Structure 1
Amino acid sequence: MMKTFSVNTNHHDQMVDITQEIANWIKEQGVKDGAVIVSSMHTTAGITVNENADPDVKTDMLRRWDEIFPWEDQRDKHMEGNTAAHMKTSYVGHAQTLIIENGELVLGTWQGIYFCEFDGPRRRKVSLKLLK
């Protein structure tokens, strides 16, 4: 089973919590045990699992990625000027595989699944694939 859904971003760099949408879809499918692959369909947006309790974590992460991969680097040759977004996506990764047990996503107490926008704002796509 596969599903693709849209994520609308409002900022150039943004982390959007998509945990509940994924958990709801898993319940709708009636899957008890297996895994789900969560994949960004873009080269300038990734997927990560991280803390969802304190919003400052997202702010700090986005700032740190900007420090590692600055947007303005005169040495970049990519004509679109978004090499930093490509680098961030390669660093974060475009996909995550998560365990499903007893019909529930297996996540830690403070964990959430995030769509990471690095070249927005845009309308993006995320694909989910169930493995049973």
Structure 2
Amino acid sequence: MRSYRKELWFDIPARREFRNITSQVERCLQESGIQEGLLLCNAMHITASVFINDDESGLHQDFERWLEGLAPHEPLSNYLHNNTGEDNGDAHLKRTVMGREVVVAVTGGRLDFGPWEQIFYGEFDGRRRKRVLVKIIGE
């Protein structure tokens, strides 16, 4: 069995953003040369997420509205975590809801997706450099 590892780095200028990273992950798969196996893609920061869903702008706006309803950024006093001097208590909760990672089957050297599936990086406390790990194992 072979393995491949690569970090993808992101500089998101806004506090929150959803970014389609499917093409970057597919490039990793091509670089790996692995034809059959599993691909893990995970956020390496506790205020960011990796998830699979449809690349449709209305859905992304729905995510934003829904997440802000569940864990609004303000007032900052809503979160005990913010007593540490941080202002990102909401981002930790949003990440928990959206998830840390995805695992995708690799078949015939391609991501074995269902219809409309794409991989997204979700940033909930941006304005600094963050990374995503891509780890692929297989033959």
Give yes or no for TM over 0.5: yes
Superposition pairs of residues 1-132 of structure 1, within 5 angstroms: 1-52=4-55, 54-73=56-75, 74-78=77-81, 79=84, 80-132=86-138
Q: Deviations over 1:26-67 (max 9, x none)?
A: 012111110110011101001110101x21211111111010
Moved over 4 A (4+): none
Distance in 2, matches of 1:129 and 1:120, equals 23
Normalising to structure 1: TM-score of the pair? 0.93
**Which consecutive unaligned segments of at least 5 residues does structure 2 have?**
none
Alignment RMSD, CA only?
Answer: 1.2
**Which consecutive unaligned segments of at least 5 residues does structure 1 have?**
none
Which of structures 1 and 2 has the bigger CA Rg? 2
Alpha-carbon distance, 1:128 to partner? 0.8
Normalising to structure 2: TM-score of the pair? 0.89
Alpha-carbon distance, 1:23 to partner? 0.6
Q: Is the 8 A contact 2:11 2:127 kept in 1?
A: yes
Q: May I ask how many residue pairs the two structures share in their alignment?
A: 131
Distance in 2, matches of 1:72 and 1:16, equals 23
Q: Is the 8 A contact 2:42 2:101 kept in 1?
A: yes
Q: Deviations over 1:5-41 (max 9, x none)?
A: 2022132111011000001110121111101100111
Alpha-carbon distance, 1:121 to partner? 2.4
Q: Is the 8 A contact 2:28 2:134 kept in 1?
A: no
Going by fraction, where is helix more abundant, 1 or 2?
A: 2
